[in-house]
């Protein structure tokens, strides 16, 4: 191993973003400990990494204490799709809050740098557009999304209190909708839903009128920024928005997916879920200046790569 190599723990490492992150850290010459309870993650996402002797996997739920020895921690464990985080909302809050306490306790004992995967959902249904980090958000604390939004907000509070109280080195990133290969076909988020529906010739389900907007970031762009932020020197806790400012309505997304897949699927409107944010776009000025970074992959290119992945996956399942 290289002299600069570290032992890095990735919680949620068998999930969509976590598996790409494990792969990336191994390529950089680090040792990686992947911790996951397989709630939404899959062994298929990491099976190709198992032959690497510097890759280790631990089945563990981060709501329970964990005693291991590592140099740095990326805390990604948490279901991210509304369908999955609302399946067992109490467990979702526990994962964000108890999970953060355990991972922060671990980091404190080890004096290790720890990154929290927070979310644009801390802004709720935003009244300010685009959203800068200074915006405090507009979250319904008792609605069906609150287990995720408020859980992540409380985790941010814990990160900043461990930082202030114990001088723990932290990084908090607020991730905006990110997509790419290895999303679960039943994940329930919009990009994977539309692509799988289009490839199967099933109706494309648009919730509500389809005029709500999101800004979609390709996984590689997100990880490049997250990785740079973790490695940047100094006391720069964040929070830092990471995402692609290109903003689209769900109708535009559906039309683009239909065009790129050459699908004959029709559009089917379904009811809009409660508290669904009407608009979302990251202000990434801070990430641009701190990390000398900006997203490189436009939506159409990212969608083409993701469509290729799902086409192969569905063919293999036939």
Interface ranges with ligand NAD (CB under 6 A): 11-12, 14-18, 36-41, 61-63, 76-80, 95, 99, 117, 119, 175, 177-178
Q: Which is nearer to ligand NAD, 239 or 263 (CB)?
A: 239
Q: Name the active-site residue from 74, 85, 148, 218.
A: 148
Instruction: Work out the widest C-alpha separation in the chain, in whole angstroms.
Output: 57
Residue span 215-254 as binding mask against ligand UDP, x where in contact by CB under 6 A, dash where not? -----------------------------------x----
How many CA atoms are closer than 13 Å to the CA of 101, on its beta-carbon side?
10
How many CA atoms are closer than 13 Å to the CA of 238, on its beta-carbon side?
29
Q: Which is nearer to ligand NAD, 48 or 167 (CB)?
A: 48
Q: Which is nearer to ligand UDP, 195 or 291 (CB)?
A: 195
Q: Which is nearer to ligand UDP, 52 or 249 (CB)?
A: 249
List the one residue from 65, 132, 201, 298 that touches ligand UDP (CB under 6 A).
65
β-partners of residue 59 are 36
Lookup result for tokens 């379904």: 270
214 touches, from ligand NAD, ligand UDP, none (C-beta below 5 to 8 Å by class): ligand UDP
Q: Secondary structure of the chain in the HEC alphabet?
A: CCCCCCEEEEECCCCHHHHHHHHHHHHCCCEEEEEECCCCCCHHHCHHHCCCCCEEEEECCCCCCCCCCCCEEEECCCCCCHHHHCCCHHHHHHHHHHHHHHHHHHHHHHCCEEEEEEEHHHHECCCCCCECCCCCCECCCCCCCHHHHHHHHHHHHHHHHHHHHHCCCEEEEEECCEECCCCCCCCCCHHHHHHHHHHHCCCEEEECCCCCEEECEEHHHHHHHHHHHHHCCCCCCCCEEECCCCEEEHHHHHHHHHHHHCCCCCEEEECCCCCCCCCCCECCHHHHHHHCCCCCCCHHHHHHHHHHHHHHHHHHHC
Residue span 168-207 as binding mask against ligand UDP, x where in contact by CB under 6 A, dash where not? ---------x-----------xx--x-----------xxx
276 touches, from ligand NAD, ligand UDP, none (C-beta below 5 to 8 Å by class): ligand UDP
Q: Is 66 in the site for ligand UDP (CB under 6 A)?
A: yes
Task: Kindly state the smallest distance separating residue 173's Cβ from ligand NAD, in Å.
Answer: 8
State yes or no: is 148 an active-site residue: yes
Q: Is 72 in the site for ligand UDP (CB under 6 A)?
A: no
**C-alpha–C-alpha distance, residues 82 and 193, integer Å:** 13
Task: Kindly state the smallest distance separating residue 232's Cβ from ligand UDP, in Å.
Answer: 25
Q: Is 265 in the site for ligand UDP (CB under 6 A)?
A: no
Residue span 97-126 as binding mask against ligand UDP, x where in contact by CB under 6 A, dash where not? ----xx--xx-xx-----------------
Q: Which is nearer to ligand NAD, 11 or 131 (CB)?
A: 11
List the one residue from 3, 4, 27, 67 that touches ligand UDP (CB under 6 A).
67
Residue span 77-96 as binding mask against ligand UDP, x where in contact by CB under 6 A, dash where not? ----xx--------------
Chain residues in the site for ligand UDP (CB under 6 A): 65-67, 81-82, 101-102, 105-106, 108-109, 177, 189-190, 193, 205-207, 212, 214, 250, 273, 276
> What are the residue numbers of the active site?
148
């Amino acid at each position: 191993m290289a002299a600069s190599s570290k032992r890095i723990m990735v919680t949620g490492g068998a999930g969509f973003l976590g598996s790409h992150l494990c792969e990336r850290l191994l390529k950089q010459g680090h040792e990686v400990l992947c911790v996951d309870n397989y709630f939404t993650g899959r062994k298929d996402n990491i099976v190709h990494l198992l032959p690497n002797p510097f890759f280790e996997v631990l089945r563990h739920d981060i709501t329970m204490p964990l005693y291991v020895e590592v140099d740095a921690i990326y805390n990604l464990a948490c279901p991210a799709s509304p369908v999955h985080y609302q399946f067992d909302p109490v467990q979702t809050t526990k994962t964000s809050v108890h999970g953060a306490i355990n991972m922060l306790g671990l980091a404190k004992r080890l004096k290790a740098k720890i990154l929290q995967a927070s979310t644009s959902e801390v802004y709720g249904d935003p009244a300010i557009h685009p959203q800068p980090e200074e915006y405090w958000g507009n979250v319904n604390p008792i609605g069906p999304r609150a287990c995720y939004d408020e859980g992540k907000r409380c985790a941010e509070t814990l990160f900043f209190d461990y930082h202030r109280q114990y001088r723990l080195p932290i990084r908090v990133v607020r991730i905006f909708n990110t997509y790419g290969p290895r999303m679960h076909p039943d994940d329930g988020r919009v990009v994977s839903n539309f692509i799988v529906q289009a490839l199967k010739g099933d109706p494309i389900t648009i919730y509500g009128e389809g005029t709500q907007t999101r800004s979609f970031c390709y996984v590689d762009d997100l990880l490049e920024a997250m990785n740079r932020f973790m490695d940047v020197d100094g006391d720069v806790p964040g929070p830092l928005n990471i995402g692609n400012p290109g903003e689209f309505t769900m109708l535009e997304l559906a039309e683009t997916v239909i065009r790129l897949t050459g699908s004959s699927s029709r559009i089917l409107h379904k009811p809009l879920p409660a508290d669904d944010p009407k608009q979302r776009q990251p202000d990434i000025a801070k990430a641009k200046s701190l990390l000398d970074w900006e997203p490189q992959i436009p939506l159409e290119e990212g969608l083409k790569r993701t469509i290729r992945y799902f086409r192969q996956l569905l063919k293999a399942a036939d």
